[in-house]
Amino acid sequence: MNAPVDFAAIKARQQAAWGTGDYAVIGTTLQIVGESLAEACDLKTDERVLDVAAGNGNATLAAARRGCLVTSTDYVGSLLERGAERARAERLEVTFQTADAEALPFADESFDAAVSTFGVMFAPDHARAAAELARVVRPGGRIGLANWTPDSLIGRMFKVLGRYVPPPAGVQPPSLWGTEAHLRTLFGDAAAAVQATPRHFVFRYRSAANFVDVFRTWYGPVNKAFSAQTPDKAEALAGELAELLEDLNRAGPASLVVPSEYLEVVVTRA
């Protein structure tokens, strides 16, 4: 019989990983995804919008720019501080609150919409995170998600990392959130409709080596994976990541341009 999964311990390790480096350095490059998601959700002025696992606030800013009443949440306070800096620079009114995606501190049906760009997909307990999203959104409201697919650059990058730092036993891969079938299973009867649209975000860096250097310095999970290796293993990991990037590079030797597929999802709350 398999031992029960200790989600609390896994989450504590994840929280430490995402607090390492500074995700905002990379997160800000993904802003276009938040803008696209806000349009897909057809966000309206004065709607109450919750950004879950908001990171440095891409979807938060997109919703606030459309006049929504936004609450931005993450379990890493330093990331919320980055989002708050960006909101202040644009004179946008946003409420920032530390919160766990699997235990949102809000009443049932508190929001017209909940959104998450490459955030809630990393919650270890998929079913609980999905249930919380559904709980806090009113009937007829929307749940908007942007999730990396299993075959995306990021999905494949995490597979490489998993060969050096094995993922916790019994935890489903985050990239399952990038498959429509998994989403329909997660939301079940809570969804009146699920609209899933494949899209691509294009990573643009000077070279594969530049990408690896930026990610190992600033992107928490990659930073943690490298720090856990011996020098020889770290060199091998860097080589595998660079090889993956070169295989997907469409720019030739002069630069690095790599499309990464994600699923843009709008769930209408039943």
DSSP assignment string, 188-248: GGGEEEEEEEEEEEEEEES-HHHHHHHHHHH-HHHHHHHHTS-HHHHHHHHHHHHHHHHHH
Q: What percent of the chain stands above pLDDT 90?
A: 91
Q: What's residue 248's pLDDT?
A: 98
pTM (two decimals): 0.96
| Nearest-angstrom CA–CA distance, 78 and 75 | 9
Q: What's residue 124's pLDDT?
A: 95
Q: pLDDT tens, 61-110?
A: 999 999 999 999 999 999 999 999 999 999 999 999 999 999 999 999 99
| Res 210 pLDDT > 80 | yes
Mean pLDDT of all residues in 145-174: 96
Q: What's residue 2's pLDDT?
A: 61
| Res 1 pLDDT > 60 | no
Q: What's residue 168's pLDDT?
A: 87
Alpha helices in 94-170 (DSSP H): 126-136, 153-164
Instruction: Among 3.40.50.150, 3.30.360.10, 1.10.10.10, 2.40.50.140, name the CATH number for the domain at 7-149+169-201+261-269.
Output: 3.40.50.150
| Nearest-angstrom CA–CA distance, 182 and 194 | 11
What b/e readout covers 87-111, taking b as 16+ CB neighbours within 10 angstroms? beeeebebebeebbbbebebeeebb
| Res 173 pLDDT > 70 | yes
| Res 145 pLDDT > 80 | yes
**Which is nearest to 140 in space by CA: 72, 190, 188, 181?**
190
Determine which helix (DSSP H) or strand (DSSP E) holds 48, and give its type and residue range: strand 48-51
Name the average pLDDT for the chain. 96
Q: pLDDT tens, 102-142?
A: 999 999 999 999 999 999 999 999 999 999 999 999 999 99
